[in-house]
């Protein structure tokens, strides 16, 4: 997709003053080579903003290479980024080119940068500062020319203060910071998004929709969508699939919305005084159990609804000894 096609696409059509400022910031920084940090809640479209900056830059005809850092463990992320030479692992028989090299002369987009370990941050910092990388198991350094864009939904300044994110790395990646507003700050765009995603859901699922019940439409246009555009899309997809006789009903409302209407039964008595830490532990366990039941113990579906990774859910299941019912 070229710049003209991208700007005329649905993603760029906005009535929201907040999102218009975001797009203006993207246009202002695109011509430079400055490192850009995109901040915003999960599901707000930080990847779209990164692509927009790339398409407006002098590197638009070069590769745009995206990496979701949260999708890899520490041991897998490094070879993914830096590449590796044959023989470094017992099953490695071919040279592997990393994402840094693939982005040479183009743009490297590192999403979920706040989830990268402190050890990997050190190696990334060196590569970003020197523009040199060395494949795992190799001895030759290679100079690269790339533009770096990173993104996170975490509060990195607080993480720096807590010692969970390196201060020098934070300053290196955040030369320019652009905030992507959540969907609740873009209410002017909501109806247009609903119509666009509804049409797309019908095409993808080959289901025709003739009507939306009043209560369903009221929900769609008034809900805050804590999971933002991703949650809106998932909600519309689900409601289309669960439609009856080509009519969208309130069946398929998001888990977080239903939670406010049907709260899980608490396992502790209100007359029992417990520590705040214990309260949080019990509440988290109950909520996770309830979410898993709502999704039929589909880990990936629950992860999407809760805006966390499947790996985090597995860890919590083990931590709380949650057992799947037969």
State pLDDT tens for residues 2-56.
666 665 566 667 899 999 999 999 999 999 999 999 999 999 999 999 999 999 9
- Of 48-52, 62-66, 145-149, 262-266, the one with minimum mean pLDDT is 262-266
pLDDT tens, 169-206? Answer: 999 999 999 999 999 999 999 999 999 999 999 999 99
| C-alpha span between 289 and 284 (Å, rounded) | 9
Q: What's the token pair of residue 161?
A: 């203060």
Superfamily of domain 3-181: P-loop containing nucleotide triphosphate hydrolases (3.40.50.300)
Instruction: Tell me the domain boundaries of the chain.
Output: 3-181, 185-253, 265-326
Q: Could you confirm whether domain 185-253 is CATH 3.40.50.720?
A: no
Q: For residues 54 and 98, is the Cβ–Cβ distance under 8 A?
A: no
- Choose among 282, 228, 208, 294: nearest CA to 255: 294
Domains 185-253 and 265-326 share a fold: no
Which residues touch 286 (CB under 8 Å, ≥6 apart)? 264, 265, 266, 267
Instruction: Provide the pLDDT for residue 319.
Output: 86
> Is residue 121 pLDDT above 70, yes or no?
yes
| C-alpha span between 72 and 81 (Å, rounded) | 11
- Span 77-99, average pLDDT: 80
Q: Structurally, what CATH architecture does the domain formed by 265-326 represent? A: Orthogonal Bundle (1.10)
Instruction: Provide the pLDDT for residue 21.
Output: 94
Instruction: Provide the pLDDT for residue 223.
Output: 87
> Is residue 262 pLDDT above 60, yes or no?
no
230 or 65: which leads in pLDDT: 65
- Choose among 74, 72, 53: nearest CA to 175: 53
> Is residue 154 pLDDT above 60, yes or no?
yes
Helix (H, G, I), strand (E, B) or coil at 10: helix
Instruction: Provide the pLDDT for residue 270.
Output: 44
């Amino acid at each position: 997709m070229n710049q003209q096609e991208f700007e005329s696409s649905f993603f760029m059509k906005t009535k929201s003053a907040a999102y218009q400022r975001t797009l203006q910031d993207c246009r202002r920084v695109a011509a430079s080579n400055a490192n850009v940090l995109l901040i915003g809640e999960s599901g707000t479209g930080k990847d779209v903003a990164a692509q927009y900056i790339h398409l407006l830059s002098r590197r638009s005809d070069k590769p745009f290479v995206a990496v979701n850092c949260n999708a890899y463990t520490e041991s897998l992320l490094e070879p993914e980024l830096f590449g590796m030479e044959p023989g470094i692992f017992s099953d490695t028989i071919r040279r592997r080119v990393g994402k840094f090299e693939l982005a040479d002369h183009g743009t490297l987009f590192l999403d979920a940068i706040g989830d990268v370990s402190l050890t990997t941050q050190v190696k990334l910092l060196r590569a970003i500062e020197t523009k040199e990388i060395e494949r795992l198991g190799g001895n030759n350094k290679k100079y690269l020319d790339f533009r770096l864009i990173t993104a996170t939904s975490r509060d990195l300044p607080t993480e720096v203060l807590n010692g969970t994110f390196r201060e020098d790395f934070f300053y290196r990646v955040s030369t320019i910071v652009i905030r992507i507003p959540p969907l609740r700050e873009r209410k002017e765009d909501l109806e247009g998004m609903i119509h666009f995603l509804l049409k797309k859901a019908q095409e993808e699922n080959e289901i025709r929709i003739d009507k939306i019940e009043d209560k369903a439409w009221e929900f769609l246009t008034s809900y805050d969508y804590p999971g933002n555009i991703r949650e809106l899309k998932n909600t519309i997809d689900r409601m289309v699939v669960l439609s009856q006789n080509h009519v969208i009903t309130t069946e398929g409302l998001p888990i977080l919305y239903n939670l406010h209407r049907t709260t899980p039964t608490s396992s502790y008595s209100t007359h029992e005084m417990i520590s705040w830490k214990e309260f949080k532990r019990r509440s988290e366990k109950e909520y996770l159990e309830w979410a898993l039941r709502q999704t039929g113990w589909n880990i990936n579906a629950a992860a999407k609804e809760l805006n966390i990774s499947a790996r985090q859910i597995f860890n919590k299941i083990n931590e709380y000894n949650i057992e799947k019912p037969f």
